[in-house]
Structure 1
Amino acid sequence: MLDAARVQKELVECNKDCHISGISVDLHRDGSSLYHLTGTISGPLDTPYEGGAFEIDIVLSESYPFQPPKMQFKTKVWHPNISSQNGAICLDILKDQWSPALTLKTALLSLQALLSAPAPNDPQDAVVAKQCLNDHTTFVATARYWTEAFAMRTTVGTEEKVKKLMEMGFPENLVRSALENVKGDENMALEKLCSG
């Protein structure tokens, strides 16, 4: 049985200094249980991931913390140790090097460190690893592009987004609700509004 008290304590620990660590964890959007969580890590400074907010899907098993959490990037990322297709992660502490002494916070800090120090010789994504090893300049440019395209929240203010979407004929209350539901992503809000 999942140790709910420990998981709740870990959630508090992860979120208490998130403005400093760049790490937070919340219940998954469905909010139904402690087994399914969503983590967010900020891209490390002086890397092509800087400025990005990367969402991680976290699933805990009945035997957590004796078994590692299953983690997968939901935000697309260009990195040799993370699948560009499905977000699978190649990191030893999420597999055979896990210890019950580790926590969700240490796992997420390790993912953040992985963004700072790619290991192309132990890849999850062979195409990205090859580019990282053979054409590092292009790798950095591609990683930066993916960060800007998939992990950065647009800098346009909420009111500007509301105005633009209202100019397309959508009512203000629906526009605000759609933007709120997709964390301010204007394109996703437009999709949601168009699909009814």
Structure 2
Amino acid sequence: MHSLNNNDLLLIGDLVYEIDLGPMSNIAFTRIQRECKEVVTNKEIAETGIMIEILNDSLSEIKGQIRGPPDTPYQGGSFDLEIKIPDTYPFTPPKIKFLTKIWHPNISSQTGTICLDILKDQWAASLTLRTVLLSIQALMCSPEPKDPQDAVVAKQYMSNPALFKETAIYWTIKYARGKAEENPTYRERVEKLRDMGVTEVCCLRFSDEAISVLSCNNWDLAKATDYIFS
């Protein structure tokens, strides 16, 4: 088998990359090269709405994209992921987090960190980038609120499923380019929070921080205001 070297040319899909291994081993590079090709060229993967974009020539940084699954609050949305491949891959898992904000019990609404066993202690070298991305998409379909990454979201999911669904849809519209109709009540409460001067007083520079506070307080404007000023 030919050993990969710096400055070799690599074809993935229709794009050509000049190899820069950096600190990555030949084993890791060869493996992730094959897995990237699998995701890029597989029509079935494309039909599920999973795509990747390679960000550097060592293949250590990849941008993923997952289409929100049908019949979920994320339907119609497009969710970006940060994927970092460690030098020790595939013996250690990739580091993956959501770049697009999402309201989900197993994904941090603040940092995008994902609670998924195969990204932690259940990782095996036989797993691939394809299976990981499909598992994340499956998690979007079937949340596990009893093993949450975001306890506030999980509590809402279990105590008020209808409110959780409406909130998740709202976040999908605002952050993931979802096409559903925006909830006018939620929009009005975000605007009221800004009109009250909360943005300036609490250094909330963007409306997404107001949305986060309201979502965490079940869209109760009074509670959200008390939370901020307390």
- With normalisation by structure 2, the TM-score equals 0.64
Q: Secondary structure at the match of 1:142?
A: helix
Identity across matched positions, percent: 50
Further displaced range: 7-16 or 78-87: 7-16
1:15 offset after TM fit, Å? 1.7
CA distance in 1, matches of 2:35, 2:155: 37
Residues 1:124 and 2:149 are matched in the alignment: yes
Corresponding residue for 1:136? 161
Provide the rounded CA distance (Å) in 2 between the counterparts of 1:48 and 1:153.
Answer: 10
1:37 matched to 2:41? The reply is: no
- Match of 2:102? 77
Alpha-carbon separation, structure 2, partners of 1:153 and 1:37? 23
Q: Which amino acid is the alignment partner of residue 111 of structure 1?
A: I
User: Is structure 2 residue 126 aligned with structure 1 residue 106?
Assistant: no
- Equivalent pairs, count: 153
Q: Confirm whether residue 97 of structure 1 aligns to residue 138 of structure 2.
A: no
d(CA) in 2 for partners of 1:39, 1:19: 12
Indicate yes or no: 2:47 matched with 1:20.
yes
State the shift of 1:33 in Å. Answer: 2.8
Measure the CA separation in 2 of the matches of 1:75 and 1:105.
20
| SS state at 1:3 partner | helix
- For the aligned residue pairs, the C-alpha RMSD in angstroms reads 1.6
Cα distance in 2 between the residues matched to 1:57 and 1:92: 18
Which secondary structure state, in structure 1, belongs to the residue aligned with residue 34 of structure 2? helix
Aligned to 2:32, the other structure's residue is in SS state helix
Question: Gapped runs of 5+ residues in structure 1?
Answer: 156-196
Between structure 1 and structure 2, the one with the greater Rg is 2
Report the Cα distance in structure 2 between the residues aligned to 1:19 and 1:10, rounded to whole angstroms: 14
Unpaired runs of 5+ residues, structure 2, are 1-24, 181-230
- Of the two structures, which has the highest relative contact order with CA contacts closer than 8 Å and spacing of 6 or more? 1
Output the TM-score relative to the length of structure 1: 0.74
Instruction: Give yes or no for contact 1:37–1:57 (8 Å, CA) kept in 2.
Output: yes
Amino acid at match of 1:112: Q
Q: Would you say 1:6 and 2:31 are equivalent positions?
A: yes
Which residue identity does 1:26 align to in structure 2?
Answer: E
Deviates more, 1:108-117 or 1:5-14: 5-14
Equivalent-residue separation in structure 2 for 1:6 and 1:67 (angstroms): 13
Instruction: Please say if residues 36 and 58 of structure 1, whose CA atoms lie closer than 8 Å, have aligned partners that are also in contact.
Output: yes
